[in-house]
Structure 1
Amino acid sequence: MAKTPSPCISVCKFKRQGHCIGCSMTKAQKSLYKGLKKESHKQAFVDMLVKQQAALGKYRHWTAAYMRKCLKKKAKPVPAVRDAAKAA
């Protein structure tokens, strides 16, 4: 199985109270993700991010973009992303 891709969808504009308008990560969260080594930690981070996006709102576009990224990299998205895609 391929590695869990970064949740970043290459928008990188921090306009929503320090959160990226593309993926909802803060600059600190982006740095944290880059430092994660274990696959389980990366998957847990993406799961947390899906919950963060639901709480913040305005991030429905991210799920489709991230699913395309996973497909391109031949990676299986974490269950929270698959569930969010089904709900959309």
Structure 2
Amino acid sequence: MKNNRRDILISLRKEKGLLQKDVVDLLKRFHSIEISESYYGMIEQGVRTPKLNIALAISELFNANPNEIFFKVKPNKKLRSRNSA
């Protein structure tokens, strides 16, 4: 498993043979989302966190679960203890 969640994003892009510019173009064409190549690069580096609509659009482009790429899901200890009882 990858250590950095953003590594998953980079891997997904490379698996499809896309450049960052290609992802930016696809976001514009299919989702009417205009971001710069620089901004997308910062998302991949983990310097920027995209708005929800951008994160969901990127996830859709790669047919991936947005939770695996962008969100840290922490287990809820209170819910776990209630379910165990």
TM-score (norm 2): 0.33
Tell me which protein shows more strand as a share of its residues.
1
Tell me which protein shows more helix as a share of its residues.
2
TM-score (norm 1): 0.32
Greater Rg, structure 1 or structure 2? Answer: 2
Question: Structure with the greater relative contact order (CA < 8 A, sep ≥ 6): 1 or 2?
Answer: 1
